[in-house]
Amino acid sequence: MKKATYFTGTFYLQNRQFDLKDEIVNRDDCQFGAYLLKKKFYEIGIDLSTQDINQVSESEFIIYNEFAGVNNIIPDRNNYLLIFESEVIRPDNWNIENHRYFKKIFTWHDDFVDNKRYIKINFSVKVPERLNFDLSEKTGLCTMIVANKFVKHPLELYSERRRAIEWFENNHPEDFDLFGFGWDRHLFTGYWRRLNKIKFLCRFFRPRYKTYKGAIKSKREILRRYKFSICYENAKDIPGYITEKIFDCFFAGCVPIYFGAPNITRHIPSKTFIDRRNFNTYDELYSYIKNMSEAEYVNYLDAIRDFVMSDKIYPFSAECFAETIVREIVKQV
> Tell me: domain 2-126+317-330, CATH 3.30.70, correct?
no
Residues 6+ apart with CB under 8 A from 230: 142, 143, 144, 161, 164, 257
DSSP, residue by residue, 203-248: HHT----TTB----S-HHHHHTTEEEEEEE-SBSS-TT---THHHH
> Tell me: domain 135-313, CATH 3.40.50.12780, correct?
no
Give the C-alpha separation, 135 to 2, whole Å.
51
Pick 192 or 53 by higher pLDDT.
Answer: 53
pLDDT at 206: 62
Backbone angles phi, psi at 163, to 5 degrees: -65, -40
Q: What is the dihedral of CA 132, 137, 142, 144, to 10 degrees?
A: -70
Q: How many residues does the chain have?
A: 333
pLDDT at 27: 87
In tens, the pLDDT along 87-100 reads 999 999 999 999 99
For the residues 189-202, what does the mean pLDDT come to?
60
pLDDT at 204: 53
Delimiting residues of CATH 3.40.50.11660 domain(s) in the chain: 135-313
In tens, the pLDDT along 288-332 reads 999 999 999 999 999 999 999 999 999 999 999 999 999 999 977
Contact 91, 77 (CB under 8 A): no
> Could you tell me the pLDDT band of residue 201, with boundaries at 50, 70 and 90?
low
User: Does the model's pTM come out above 0.85?
Assistant: yes
Rounded to the nearest angstrom, the gap between the alpha carbon of residue 60 and the centroid of all alpha carbons in its chain is 29
